[in-house]
Structure 1
Amino acid sequence: MIILTHDSYVGSLLLSPLAERRRSDYLPLRAHSVVTHITDPPGASELSCLSRPATPPIVRSVIDAILSLRRMDNKAYLVQMKSSGVHGKTLTGKGMLGNGFHHMSVNGSLYPTKTKSRRQRWEVKPSEMAENTLNPIRAIVDGMKLTPNPEKPMISLSIGDPTVFGNLPTDDGVLQAMKDAIDSQKYNGYAPSVGYLKSRQAVANFYSSPEAPLEAEDVILTSGCSQAIELAINVFCNPGDSILVPRPGFSLYKTLAVSMGIEVKLYNLLPEKSWEIDLQHMESLIDEKTSCLIVTNPSNPCGSVFSKEHLQKILKVASKHCVPILADEIYSDMVFPGCSCPSLASLSSDVPVLSCGGLAKRWLVPGWRMGWILIHDRNNIFGSEIRQGLVKLSQRILGACTIVQGALESILNNTPQSFYSNTISFLKSNSELCFNELSGVPGLNPIMPSGAMYLMVGIEMDHFPDFKNDVDFTERLVTEQSVFCLPASAFEYPNFFRIVVTVPEALMEEACVRIREFCQCYYRPPSCDGNDLDQ
C-alpha cells in the first residue's frame, strides 16, 4: 500500500534515507487539495489510481520512483505532503505507522526533478555539438549535381591534397626516416600526449630564430595541423566568445568554432590588394568577447603572402586591443621566389602568438597527420594557464602518431633544400600558366598567387546571366567540361572559384582550355541601349 496525502501548498518530496540526501535531491510536487490513495496490489504490473481529480503526471513519477524502491526492499511507504518544512525520518516498529513503513515529508520548495524513470522506447539523438558541426565545403559540394561529361576525362582542381595525382612525391629521405622508425621497434607504444621530448626539441630547433626563440617546452605535437587549430581555439575560447576569421578563409575555422558555441566574425580580405586584410573592418569587429584573431599566411584559399609591413600593421591592431593571435602557418615555407614570409611571432614585441603548422604541405605527406603548435609568448602573457591548458587538451587523444614522431628529427634535419625548391618551382610555374591562360578569358579575373597551392578566380556574374551564382557556374562546368573547381561560396566569398595548382602541367593546360571554351559559350558582353548612347 502506498498512501499519498497532500494539501494546497506547493512542496517537494524528499526520498529516504534522509541521511544520504542533499537539497538537490528534492523532487518537486504541486499539491492538490485532495487526498489520493494509490494501491499496489500484489503481483500487479501497473498502479490503480483512485483519486479526484486524476493523479497529476508528476505524482505518477513520484509513485514510480517509490515503487522502484519498494521492489528492492519490499517495504511500504507513506508520502505525506506538508508545507511545514519539517524533514521526514524513517520510523521503526515503534513509529506511528508501525514496522516497515517509511515516513517522508515535504519542505515546501521547488527543485529540478531528478527522478529515474524507465524509458518506454528507444530515443537516441546526436549531441548539440554533432548537430552544430557543419563543414561549409561539404555542405555545398554534397548539394551539387556533379555529373561529368562522359566524353571528357574528369580533371579535379578542387582538392587541396598535393598527393592526388602522384606527380609530387615526398623526398626519398623522408620515406627512409619512416622506414627506420618502424624497423627500430622503438615507437610502437604510447608517447606523452604532447609528444616525445626529442621530437619536440627537433621542431623547436627547426623553427627557432633570434627574434622568436623556441625550446621543447614551447612545442605541442598534434594529429595534423587541423588538430593544432582545434586545440588553439579550445584553449582560447569559451562558448559565447567570438573569434575573428578571414573572408575568404579556410572553412575549418568556422566548422570547429560553431560546434563549440563560439561566434565567428568574418573580416574581409581585399582582392584588389592581393588579398591583404581590410584592417579597418577587422578592427571594427573586436569587442570584449573577442578571444583570438586568426591570421592565415600564406593563404588558403587565396595563395596570397602578406608583406612584413602588412604583418606589422596586423600586430599593431592586436596589441592595441590585447587580442592574442592564432597564426595558421602551415604554408609558411611555400613561398614563390621574390617573396618573403616572416612568421608573425618573429615580428611581435608583445602580442602572444600560437603558430600552427605541420608536415602535410611542405613535405607533401598530409596523410601522416603530424602537426604542431609553437607557443610564442616572450612577455609571459599566457602565464602557465594557457600552456597547461594545451597540455590538458592534448590528453584527449593521447598524442600524435608515434612512428612519425620517431622519424621527425631526421625529416626536419636531413631533407635537402633541393626538394623544397623543386616543389616551389613547380607550383609557381603552374600558377603562372593558369593565371596567364585565364587572364585572357572574357568574364574571368584570376589573381596571381605568391605562395601556397591555390589561385582564386573572380567571375563577372553580370556577363554570365545563365548562372545564378558561383555554385551554379562551377556545377555546369563539371557537367559540360568535366572540370571541377571549388566555388568560393565554400569560403564565404561568392562569385569566385578556387583552383588547386598541384595538378600535372598537361592537365592544367587542358583544364584552362576547357574553362575558356565554357566561358566563351556563355559569356554575354555588356548591353548597350538607347539611353547609353545618349550619355
Structure 2
Amino acid sequence: MLDKSCNTNGQCKKIDNGQTREQKPWNVEPSTIGNNCINPIRLTIEKLFSKSVTEKSIISLAIGDPTLYGNLNPSQESIDALVKVVQQGKHNGYSPSMGLQTARQAIADFISVDGAKFTSDDIFICSGCASSLETSITALADPFKGQNILIPKPGFGAYKTLAVTINVKVKSYDLIPEKNWEADLNQLESQIDDKTTAIVVNNPSNPCGANYSKQHLQRILDIASRHRVPIIADEIYEKLVYPGKKFVSLASMETDVPILVCSGLSKSLLAPGWRQGWIAVCDRAGVMTEIRRILESLGQRINGSNSLVQGAIPEILQNTPQSFYDDAAAKLEKQAKVVYDRLSHVKGLTPYMPEAALYLVVKFDLEKFPDLQNGLEITKQLLNEESVFCLPGECFEMTGFIRIVITSPCDVLAEACDRIAKFAERHYVE
C-alpha cells in the first residue's frame, strides 16, 4: 500500500507498507535569467491599460503597433505574395537556421543601396527585429567576462531587457533633445571601457523619432573605430523617414567598424505580427568570421523563423513599390503634425516633432505640475481622468515625459490631444 499526505507547505509524509518517512518540500524557484527578464513597456501596458475609471472610451497611444486602428496596412503586394506561398504549400517545413537562401538574397539586394553592399552570406534571418537584437547582443557580449554594451538614453527599453536577461551589463549614453536627439559624443566616448563590446545605435529612433545626419553618424563611427568597438545598428524604421528627409544607413558609409545591422519587415511593411527580422553583417575589415559562425549557431536554437513569410520575402521586397513606403511616411508625418500642433500651445508641455518612425515625445514641465511627480504618475492620472493611454518616459529612461504613438487616424489623435490639453490645464499651476 502506498499513500501520501501533504501539508500546506507541500511537505509530504510517504506511507509505504506501514512505514512513514519525511520527504523534503517542493521548492520550485525561478531561474536567474527568468528573474532578470523585465520588459518595461509590456509591464506598464499590462498593469495600467484596464484601469481607466472614466466613462470615456479609451484611446490607446501606447504600443508601436501600426495595425491597431486599421488605417495603416501592409502593401497589397505583400499580402498577395504571402497568400501565394500559403496556397503553393512549398514552405510549410523548417528553413535553414540562417534562413532560406532565396530570402537572404532578396534581403541583400533590398538593402544594398547608397554604397552598402551585401551578399546572401551576410544575411541571418531572425524571428522579428527583437530577435535580431537579442542574437546580436548574445553574439558580441560575454556575461562570463563581465562585458558591457552601450545603449542610448532615452532609448528602446528592450535593449536593456535583452542584455540584462543574459547578465550582460549595460551602460548608457545620453541623447540631447536640443540637438534633435543626437548623441552626446563626449559622454558616449567617456562610457567606453575595456569591457565594452558593442555600441547600440538606433536610427531612426524610438522613442524620439530622430533621424541622424551623415555627419553625426560619421562622428559615432570615428569613436567606435578609435576604441575598436563594434556597432549594433537598429535600423528597423529605415523606410519610415518623413518626406524631405533622407535616411543614412551606417553600412553605407566608409568605415572599418564592424556593424551588425538589425532590421526587418515589421515596421516598414506595417506587419509586426509577421515576425520577420534579419541581421546584415557589414565587415569591411574582415574581423567578424567567428561572429558569423556564432550567429548561425544561435539561429539553430529556433530552427529558423516563420518559413511562410520567408518564402514570400522575394516577391514582397521586389514587388512592393517605393510609393507604398512614401505614402506611409507621409501619413505618419501628417499624424505627427496633428499632435505637435495641438500640444505646442498647451501651457507646461513641450512636444518634439519627429523626423521619422511612429512616435512623438512630450515633456511636462514638472515644476508647473506639482501634483505630478514623474512620467509614470502623469500616465496613470491621464488614463484615470481622460482615458488616454500613453507610455511614461520612464520606460525609456526619461523622466517627466510621455511617449505618444502617432499611428492612429488624425481624428483619434485630435480627440486624444484635446483630452491631454484638458488634463494639463487641470493640473497646471502658474
Structure 2 residue 278 is matched with structure 1 residue 372: yes
Q: Which residue of 2 aligns with 1:272?
A: 178
Q: How does 1:385-400 map to 2 (within 5 A)?
A: 385-400=290-305
User: Secondary structure in 1 aligned to 2:257?
Assistant: coil
Deviation at 1:132, TM superposition (A): 1.1
8 A contact 1:146–1:479 mirrored in 2: no
With a CA cutoff of 8 Å and minimum separation of 6, indicate the structure with the bigger relative contact order: 2
Q: Which amino acid aligns with 2:369?
A: F
Report the counterpart of residue 470 of structure 1 in structure 2.
375
Q: Which structure 2 residues correspond to residues 140-219 of structure 1 after superposition, within 5 A?
A: 140-144=44-48, 147-209=51-113, 211-219=115-123
Q: Distance in 1 between matches of 2:327 and 2:243?
A: 12
Map 1:341-380 → 2, pairs under 5 A: 341-380=247-286
Q: Does 1:230 align with 2:130?
A: no
Instruction: Tell me if structure 1 keeps the 8 A contact 2:152–2:201.
Output: yes
Letter in 2 for 1:469: N
**Larger-Rg structure:** 1
Q: Which residue does the alignment assign to 1:450? A: 355
SS of structure 1 residue aligned to 2:395: helix
Structure 2 counterparts to residues 67-82 of structure 1, below 5 A = none
Deviation at 1:298, TM superposition (A): 0.3
> How many percent of aligned residue pairs carry the same amino acid?
46
Give the match for residue 309 of structure 2. 404
Deviation at 1:333, TM superposition (A): 1.5
After the TM superposition, which residues 35-50 of structure 1 pair with which residues of structure 2 at under 5 Å, given as runs? none
Q: How many residues are aligned here? A: 412
Could you tell me which amino acid in structure 2 is paired with residue 518 of structure 1? F
Matches of 2:416 and 2:44 in 1, distance apart? 22
Aligned to 2:165: 259
Out of 381, 400, 406, the position equivalent to 1:495 is: 400
TM-score by length of 2: 0.93
CA 1:396/1:436 → structure 2, altered by over 3 Å: closer, same or farther? Answer: same
Uncovered stretches (5+) of structure 1, i.e. residues with no partner: 1-42, 48-117, 526-535
Partner AA of 1:195 in structure 2: G
Does the CA contact (< 8 Å) of 2:54 and 2:386 recur in 1?
no
Give the CA RMSD over aligned residues.
1.7
- TM-superposed deviation, 1:381: 1.5
After the TM superposition, which segments of 4 or more aligned residues of structure 1 sit over 6 Å from their partners? 43-47
Provide the rounded CA distance (Å) in 2 between the counterparts of 1:173 and 1:421: 15
Q: Name the SS of the counterpart of 1:170 in structure 2.
A: coil
**Would you say the 8 A contact 2:49–2:389 is kept in 1?**
no
What is the CA–CA distance in structure 1 between the aligned matches of 2:87 and 2:386, rounded to whole Å?
A: 47
The Cα of 1:172 is off from its aligned counterpart by 1.3
In 1, Cα distance between equivalents of 2:154 and 2:283? 28
Rounded Cα–Cα distance in structure 1 between residues aligned with 2:395 and 2:210? 18
- Superposed displacement of residue 473, structure 1: 1.2
Tell me how far 1:44 sits from its aligned partner.
11
Written as runs of structure 1 = structure 2, the 5 A alignment for 1:59-74 is none
Is the Cα–Cα contact under 8 Å of residues 431 and 501 in structure 1 kept in the other structure? yes
Give yes or no for contact 2:44–2:391 (8 Å, CA) kept in 1. Answer: no
Q: Find the counterpart in structure 2 of residue 111 from structure 1.
A: none
So what's the TM-score if we normalise by structure 1? 0.75
Q: 1:145 to 1:178 in 2, by over 3 A?
A: closer
2:156 is paired with a residue whose SS is coil
Q: For the Cα contact (< 8 Å) 2:347–2:428, is it kept in 1?
A: yes
Distance (whole Å) between structure 2 residues aligned to residue 145 and residue 425 of structure 1: 29
Pairwise CA distance, 1:210 = 6.2
